Amino acid sequence: MTVLIDIVKDQARSENGQRAAALSAKYETMTPQDILRDAIRNEFFGDITLSSSFGADSAVLLHMVSEIDPNLPVLFLDTDRHFFQTLQYRDELKAKLGLQNLVVLKADETEAATEDAKGTLWRTHPDACCDLRKVRPLNRVMERYGAWISGRKRHQSSTRANLPIVEWDGKHFKVNPLAKWTQADLDAYFAQHDLPPHPLVEQGFPSIGCFTCTKPVEQGQDARSGRWADSEKVECGIHNPIYGGEGI
């Protein structure tokens, strides 16, 4: 019986992988707005959510989603270590875009008290800190959904250069509608829709995470080079390395 269940699971995994590849091919020539419309209203209707860091580029995807379905659940991982500017920006965008379903996720209090009693895990074991404050809270909520939308882009770093538009990670589909967009595309969208910038962008932060683990970057560096800048860590762990790069 167990063998049969494993065979069925393998088959499902394979079918989902094929579905992700077919959707990626279909979406490659579509605009981000058309990709979102098809994913939200058709392919993953009622079974998809958006994860947003409310960082430097987040307003673009949030604006697009707000025009398609302002009731779509928007997940925000509150690590207790965000810049206060990010929390203010989150509230500003929620009001401006009319987002009706912002879901704030936090680490389990008991797990945080046990695993990070001193609040210094970010310095001693950053992977464990991201797992406690990002990966597990997100995984708990994602039990309810089959797919989620992420704002990752190919131009952000060498580890994201081959990012497909739709991925199957073994449990969920991930839709990356902005994968093909450049910084110029994003800047033009901000201007066209009069979207407010994250206040830290003008201070040299093109990618914004926790204040403990984010530094400003020099002109010409990878946008994400200021994240965990003093370590080998490049991603937080909420995305698996399934496209030849490394997990987030």
Task: Give the shortest CB-211-to-ligand SF4 separation in angstroms.
Answer: 8
Q: Would you give the binding string for ligand SF4 spanning residues 173-212, x where CB under 6 A is met?
A: ------------------------------------xx-x
Q: What angle do CA 44, 168, 142 make, to 5 degrees?
A: 60
Say which residues have a Cβ less than 8 Å from residue 34's Cβ, sequence separation at least 6. none
Least distance in Å: CB of 139 to ligand SF4?
A: 14
* Residue number, 43 or 116, with CB nearest to ligand SF4: 116
Instruction: Report the chain's terminal Cα–Cα distance, integer Å.
Output: 36
DSSP annotation of 74 reads E
Residue 56 makes contact with ligand SF4 by CB under 6 A: no
Is residue 236 annotated as a catalytic residue, yes or no? yes
Residue 129 binds ligand SF4 (CB under 6 A): yes
The answer to the question of residue 52 lying near ligand SF4 (CB under 6 A) is: no
Q: Output the smallest distance, CB 125 to ligand SF4, in A.
A: 8
Alpha carbon distances (Å) from 186 to 36, 62, 102, 213, 245: 16, 12, 23, 24, 23
Alpha-carbon distance of 207 to 197, in angstroms, equals: 12
Q: Is 135 left (phi over 0), alpha (psi -120 to 50) or beta?
A: alpha
- Asked if 172 is part of the footprint of ligand SF4 (rule: CB under 6 A), the reply reads no
Q: Is 130 one of the binding residues for ligand SF4 (CB under 6 A)? A: yes
Using CB under 6 A as the binding rule, whether residue 159 contacts ligand SF4 is answered as no
Give the full edge-to-edge strand order of the sheet including 74-77: 102-105, 74-77, 48-51, 147-149, 173-175, 166-168
Q: Is 55 in the site for ligand SF4 (CB under 6 A)?
A: no
Residues 65-94 that bind ligand SF4 (CB under 6 A): 79, 81
Q: Which is nearer to ligand SF4, 79 or 176 (CB)?
A: 79
How far apart CA 116 and CA 175 sit, in angstroms, is: 32
Q: Which string of DSSP letters, residue by residue, matches 179-242?
A: TT--HHHHHHHHHHTTPPPPTTGGGT-SS--BTTSB----TTS-GGGGBTTTSS----SSS-S-
Q: Is 122 in the site for ligand SF4 (CB under 6 A)?
A: yes
Cβ proximity to ligand SF4, 72 vs 213, nearer residue:
213
Closest approach, Cβ 208 to ligand SF4, in A, equals 11
Active site residues: 236
Please report, as ranges, the residues that interact with ligand SF4 according to CB under 6 A: 79, 81, 122, 126, 129-130, 133-134, 209-210, 212-213, 236
